[in-house]
Structure 1
Amino acid sequence: MDSSGDSSRESTRERILRKAAELFAERGFHGTSVARIGEAAEVQRGALYYHIGSKENLLYDLSKRHVEEALVRGRAVVASDLPPVEKMRRLAFEHLSAVAARRAEVTVVMREMHALTGDRAERLRALRDEHQSLFKTVLQEGVDLGVFREADSVSVLGILGALNWTYVWFDPARGLGVEALAERLTDMILHGQLTAEAASTEIDSGKPVERVIA
């Protein structure tokens, strides 16, 4: 098979995905026609369907790619030897990095996932549940070490809610950068999660909690 042809098709598909993400983020999934996507990507209708299959499949591919990439980065953080507080900071950093680099895709995942149906919806929900479980795992590690208070669903969803909402307002070109915002948000989020002993140790020593428990 002609490798140049493969490269060309991949390039076309990536362009379609990028333009579709921009349009879905701006107009919504239901407000974006296949014809408009083809026009934006400069692809004829027949070729467009060849590359995407259907508009819903395009939404699924966009969402799946984003969540799978988040899972790869998140699993690496959870599997590391970092202490729980630092792991949570790294998870926050990875999340905010995705928002900064691919705001349109993140917007689509957050706002348009409900448009998926059937098996696609179930498969993506399973991926998002697995991503959510990474945060629960880190919280549980902290609970086991006596650093965090709880690792229940309220704590997990509260943390994810704070991070997920940043796609609406976070702009790394204005104000805080990704690293600084990840640090600040993690400190705000985890302040109420620290046990009294861990919080007291941090205040008395002036050292980050992760160094105290390492």
Structure 2
Amino acid sequence: MTTTPERRRGRPPAATAEQTRWRITRVAVDLFATKGFHGTGVAEIGDRADVQRGALYYHIGSKEELLFQILRGYTEVMLAEASEIEASDADPIAKLRKLIHSHVRLIIEHRQEVAIQLRDVSALTGERADDLQDLRDRVQERWQRVIDAGHGEGLLRTADHVVTNSVLGMLNSVTLWYRPGGGRTPEEIGDIVATTVLDGMTAPGVDRATALTHTKG
């Protein structure tokens, strides 16, 4: 009868390729967020992740590819949630409020990645830069369609893309000042921002108090 050799005591099992990539990515996120993309060396990432240089390049390809994977990952999550909200049966004001809450929550959950994007996105070149910009544009398109629908139904006073860009820019800046334990939960921040935005965007003649109450939840 063949038996499996007992693993040497005290030696952990070998990590799978997926586990190694995850560890490298988390180390890179911490370093890029703290020191910046250009201030972080590949050797430092390898040392922190306990991966030799040759194996590191096998898993990540290049430092720029690693940056792209980090920024693409959370942007795809934002796109998925925005698409789900935009495709729902809710009215445009309810959708806009849900978009704000979703964006605030995800910005806070991925605040390191957002900080990296705000500072280092210009380090991406060629197809990587184009692909990430396409994802970001698709997120904005979901927002714009919701706002267009609200304006078309007479619920919102404007559908100008300048307003859409400004709202998204304001939400993205949450990562610059949010601190865990700072007195406001992500849900409370979402409520404050959504109420402020909707109060300013709701069209004349629409009962703002009713609209704001109706769209909570």
* TM-score for both structures, normalised by structure 2: 0.88
Q: Secondary structure at the match of 1:80?
A: coil
Among 154, 157, 167, the residue aligned to 1:149:
157
CA contact (8 A) 2:83 2:142 kept: yes
Matched, 1:38 2:12: no
Among 88, 111, 117, the residue aligned to 2:119:
111
CA distance in 2, matches of 1:148, 1:186: 14
Structure number with bigger Rg: 2
Q: Any gaps of 5 or more consecutive residues in structure 1?
A: none
Structure holding more helix per residue: 1
Q: Any gaps of 5 or more consecutive residues in structure 2?
A: 1-12
Question: 1:132-211 maps to which residues of 2 (within 5 A)?
Answer: 132-198=140-206, 201-202=207-208, 206-209=209-212, 211=214
| Matched pairs, number | 203
Matched, 1:120 2:123: no
Look up the equivalent residue of 2:143 and give its one-letter code.
F
Between 1:90-99 and 1:134-143, the stretch displaced more is 90-99
| 1:84 corresponding residue in structure 2 | 92
CA distance in 1, matches of 2:35, 2:180: 23
Matched, 1:24 2:27: no
CA contact (8 A) 1:172 1:178 kept: no
CA distance in 2, matches of 1:192, 1:78: 21
CA distance in 2, matches of 1:132, 1:160: 8
CA distance in 2, matches of 1:38, 1:82: 47
Look up the equivalent residue of 1:143 and give its one-letter code.
H
Matched, 1:56 2:64: yes
Q: Secondary structure at the match of 1:43?
A: coil
When residues 180 and 43 of structure 1 are mapped into structure 2, their CA distance, relative to the original with a 3 A threshold, is same
Q: Secondary structure at the match of 1:196?
A: coil
Identity of aligned residues (%): 38
